[in-house]
């Protein structure tokens, strides 16, 4: 059965400045480009069988994905649902915890709905393996799709720039609906 890989984009200017990037584009740093190239080389050298790369439309993820695609030869497609959460007027501010919409932003639940719908679609493609190139906020949602998490675990979860994580569909825990 197919599975997916997930990676976070390379380091950005706002990562270095510890600012929320959200839906605002913050370009990769020189190190970010290097991280993406190294990840592409790792994927190629480890012969990871990936059929398609799906990436966020934000330049930091798209540029990371382009480096990987160029090195590995894996086809690349932009997937709008992989865009990072929109933090409204709080983008470019120091990092904070956000549970709800702040003046035009996007709630965590809205983001989860779009990511879960994408993962549901990919799960049906049992003959394909995907690499998703997106953002740290998206990584929490993907992790929560595959594993039960407490609120504390969800808030603390994150991955490093260009870290790759493998998820297998058979590892998903099904939860029965509560009967009334």
- Among the listed residues 11, 88, 161, 143, the one whose alpha carbon sits nearest the alpha carbon of residue 98: 88
pTM for this predicted structure: 0.84
Q: Answer whether 165's CB lies under 8 Å from 140's CB.
A: no
pLDDT, tens digit (0-9, with 9 covering 90-100), for 100-148 = 666 777 888 888 999 999 999 999 988 899 999 999 999 999 999 999 9
Which is it for the CA torsion 54, 59, 63, 64, positive or negative?
A: negative
Q: How far apart are CA 173 and CA 180, in angstroms?
A: 22
pLDDT, tens digit (0-9, with 9 covering 90-100), for 139-149 = 999 999 999 98
Between residues 162 and 97, the one the model is more confident about? 162
Give pLDDT, residue 171.
59
Between residues 11 and 169, the one the model is more confident about? 11
Give pLDDT, residue 82.
96
Read off the tokens for 46: 């480890």
- Which residues does the annotation mark as catalytic? 9, 84
């Amino acid at each position: 059965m197919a599975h997916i890989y997930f990676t976070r984009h390379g380091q950005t200017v706002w990562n270095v400045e510890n600012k929320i990037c959200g839906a605002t584009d913050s370009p990769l740093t020189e190190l970010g480009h290097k991280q993406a190239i190294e990840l592409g080389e790792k994927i190629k050298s480890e012969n990871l069988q990936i059929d398609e790369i799906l990436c966020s439309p934000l330049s930091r993820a798209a540029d990371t994905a382009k480096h990987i695609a160029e090195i590995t030869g894996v086809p690349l497609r932009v997937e709008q649902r992989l865009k990072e959460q929109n933090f409204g007027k709080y983008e470019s501010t120091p990092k904070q915890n956000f549970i709800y919409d702040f003046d035009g932003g996007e709630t965590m639940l809205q983001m989860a709905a779009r990511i879960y719908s994408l993962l549901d679609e990919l799960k049906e493609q049992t003959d394909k393996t995907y690499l998703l190139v997106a953002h740290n906020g998206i990584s929490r949602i993907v992790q929560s799709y595959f594993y039960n998490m407490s609120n504390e675990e969800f808030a603390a979860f994150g991955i490093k720039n260009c870290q790759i994580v493998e998820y297998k569909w058979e590892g998903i825990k099904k939860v029965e609906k509560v009967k009334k």
